[in-house]
Amino acid sequence: MAAYWLARSRITDPVEYKKYTDLVPGILARHGGKVLARGGKYQIMEGPEDFHRFVVIEFPTHAQAVACFESEEYKAAAAYRRAGAGVVENVIVEGGEFTV
């Protein structure tokens, strides 16, 4: 079942953040990820307006999405933004309808 990596971000240093975003597409592709939305027009319908960039990435499985996020190559790329280039919230959610 497909899984989706959802990211919300606030960029504080565009130059350093670009070093991260330049590396990520290739890493995602090697793990089966497909970018569905990256940046672009958005409208916050409810909740805090803490973030101004939104990304949705589809993976064939939850395990592949988690493996990508935990990979050494992704950690190396993420080091650019984690060093102060931005604030990011990442969530990986499995697709489908589930009830509690």
Tell me what pLDDT residue 10 has: 95
Whether 6 contacts 90, CB under 8 Å: yes
Residues in the chain, pLDDT under 70: 99-100
Tell me what pLDDT residue 63 has: 97
Tell me what pLDDT residue 75 has: 97
Tell me what pLDDT residue 42 has: 94
Calpha distance 16→5 (Å, rounded): 22
Could you give the count of Cα atoms lying within 13 Å of 59 in the half-sphere of its Cβ?
24
Torsion angle in degrees (nearest 10) through CA of 18, 20, 23, 29: -110
- Say what the pTM is: 0.90
Calpha distance 75→82 (Å, rounded): 10
Tell me what pLDDT residue 100 has: 65
Calpha distance 38→65 (Å, rounded): 16
Tell me what pLDDT residue 99 has: 63
Q: Which CATH number fits domain 3-94: 3.40.640.10, 3.20.110.10, 3.50.50.60, 3.30.70.100?
A: 3.30.70.100
